[in-house]
Structure formats: structure tokens, C-alpha cells
Amino acid sequence: MERVESYASFGGRQEVWKHHSATLNCEMKFAVYLPPAAETQACPVLYWLSGLTCTEQNFITKAGAQRYAAEEGVILVAPDTSPRGEDVADAEGYDLGKGAGFYVNATRAPWAAHYQMHDYVVEELPALIEANFPANDARAISGHSMGGHGALVLALRNPGRFRSVSAFSPIVAPTRVPWGEKALSAYLGDDRDTWKSWDATELVRGASERLLLLIDQGEDDQFLEEQLRPELLVSACEEVNHPIDVRRRPGHDHSYYFIATYIGEHIHHHARALHPA
């Protein structure tokens, strides 16, 4: 690993590191915020998954999350959204390829060679963090848009791995919206049954763990009706009595202004799960 950025922030350090990922077969960057408490003890970790077109930079520069993580003694880790490099497959447009990994394990060429974002976030990255930083094995996960989809799916697919999960403006039913249909058909092929294991509305019906799904959704989000459709997840949760809390926020859109407004509430929510009494 090599540290490429380091800044003082709210008594802690905001850093960016790069490393070779064996899972993705390329060089990757991730951001890590170390709160003041990390100087004297091992701290729990909140993983943040960003949305389409983003890198590790969007969250750390726009969300204002460091202040709340410092208060709560929580490490923040924000990976990139996809593999990177000249030999990594890509596509025209912003919603497929680099910047659009969708946090799945691709099975279809040419994507399968690098696009294994599920395994990277669930296995390789936590192992790296817990071996090289003052982090314990208490983990939570959150994200925005495509990353909100990723947070929900990774938590539902891996019971016991995360103590809490939340999302801002998530794509909750990728098998039924244009963004998801485009990505899943490319990465996984045309068999729609295989897509269901990457869809939160499908996974929640068979969930063995009852983690509360905390979701913030702006009512003025330009993608709400066509791409996000939170009502589908609410209905799926009601069918099986799975706990969910969807907070509809009037006047808010899909931007980081929305995330910055409520990120403190989410970090406090995760901190309660990560620091049990």
C-alpha cells in the first residue's frame, strides 16, 4: 500500500491510499478517515459506497462526514466505485463500466476479469483495513444511489458481516429499472433470474437477519420515479415484516447537498450499533 493523501480534519486524519487488488486485478484507491479515538484504540468502521461516476473523492470532499465520525469514534472507509486501469473494460456513457461497478461480481466477458466489486468490498478491503489500521471487526455499511443499492445488497447477502445498514436515494430494485437492467444484463448476462440475487427487493424476502433498513429519500429527486422507486422495497419489507425506515425529505434532490444535510443522522445511527452499550 502507498498513502497518496493525508490531511488533518476534526482532530483526526483524512487519508487516501492506493494498493494492488488481487480481487479486481488492478490498482485501486480508497479513502480512510481516522478519528481522534484511533490514536489510542481500535475503532469500528463504516464503509461508504458511492454512486455512478464517483471515485473515493466525492464522499470525503462533499459529505462533511468527518466531523460526525470524529465525534463518534468511527473510521470511515470509502472505496472507488469500480476497477480502474487501461486494461479494464469500459463502455460509452456514465452508467456502465468504469465508475459504474454496481457492486456485483460480474460473470460475463469482458467484465468478469476485473468487475468483482462485491468480493472486494466484503472481503478484501475489510481484511486490508483491519490488518493495517487501528480498526476492529465491528462494521457498518452505507451508500448513495448505486452505492445505496450496493450497501443494501451487500448487507442482505452477508448476514452477520455488518451491524447496521443505511442508504441515501438507493436503487432498490435494479431488476426493474433502466440503470439496473443495463448493468445487470452486461455484467451477468440475459438470464433475469440470476439478477435477483443482486436486488434488495428480492433479497429481503429471504433475509435471515433483521437489520433495520434506514433510507433517506429526497422528494424532489430527479431519478425518483424512474430509477429509484423506494416504494417497491417498502412493499417487499411489509410482505415479510422486515424492519425498514424510509424518511422522505421534501425539497431535496439527488445531490451531495442532500447527503450533507442528513449524514450526521446516519453516522449517529451506525455508531449506536457499532458501539453497543
Q: Which residues are catalytic?
A: 145, 221, 254
* C-beta of residue 56 within 8 angstroms of C-beta of residue 17: no
* C-beta of residue 179 within 8 angstroms of C-beta of residue 169: no
Sheet of 244-249, strands arranged across = 2-9, 12-21, 26-34, 75-79, 43-49, 135-143, 165-168, 213-218, 244-249
- Provide the strand spans (E) within the chain: 2-9, 12-21, 26-34, 43-49, 75-79, 135-143, 165-168, 213-218, 244-249
Parallel/antiparallel/unpaired status of strands 75-79 and 26-34: antiparallel
